[in-house]
Amino acid sequence: MGIAVEDDRQPVDIVPEEEFRAVVFVCDRKGAALSRRERCLKLAGLVHRVEAERRPSGTYYKLTVRECDAVAAHLALQMGGCARSSRLRQNQSSIGRSIREIGRTLWEEALLLVGRVKDFLSSVTPKLLTGPTRSNDRSDR
């Protein structure tokens, strides 16, 4: 059975479910980090899917791509500034780190909002004209 996946190149592709095996990102909440990575893959033109996996410790969201697109997806994420997080190396958290993390999260959310507004405005506003047409030049003479 296939899954309908939206893609920029075609309105809807039917992609076999077995092809989504390469996990490129995992997080424990839907937020700015997941949205940023989805946007990077969308801009790169890669078909992707978000899978929610329930575990006893909570729900995890996995961003998956087709196996043949795994390397391209990792490169797209690196080019988009979504490299591996340094949070994996932290041992203990303090109040200062928590406040910095909250500030960083708010900043990421603001940047995501600005990106979405920019995308919306670029899709709504008309494209700039290159100049007057030839028929206008002849009528002025």
- For the chain, the average pLDDT equals 78
Look at residue 135 and tell me if it is in a domain: no
> Do residues 14 and 49 share a domain?
yes
pLDDT in tens, 19-78: 778 898 888 888 888 889 999 899 889 999 999 999 998 899 999 999 999 899 988 888
Within a domain: residue 138?
no
pLDDT at residue 90 tops 90: no
Question: Is residue 23 assigned to a domain?
Answer: yes
pTM of the model: 0.48
User: Are the C-beta atoms of residues 77 and 83 closer than 8 Å to each other?
Assistant: yes
User: How confident is the model over 88-100, as a mean pLDDT?
Assistant: 73
Q: Which residues pair with 52 in a beta bridge?
A: 61
Query: 97 and 81 in one domain?
Result: no
- For 100-113, give one letter per residue: b (16+ CB within 10 A) or e: eeeeeeeeeeeebe
Q: Please report whether residue 18 resides in a domain.
A: yes
Band (pLDDT 50/70/90 cuts) for residue 11 is very low
> Residue 29 sits in a domain of what CATH number?
3.30.70
pLDDT confidence of residue 104: 92
Q: Note whether residue 130 is domain-resident.
A: no
Give CA 33 to chain center in angstroms.
8
52 and 110 share one domain:
no
Find where tokens 């997806």 sit. 73
pLDDT above 80 (res 3): no
Q: Where are the alpha helices (DSSP H) in the chain?
A: 32-43, 70-79, 95-124, 134-140
The pLDDT value given to residue 106: 93
Q: Work out how many domains the chain is built from and give that number.
A: 2
11 domain residue, yes or no: yes
Name the residue range of residue 30's domain: 1-86
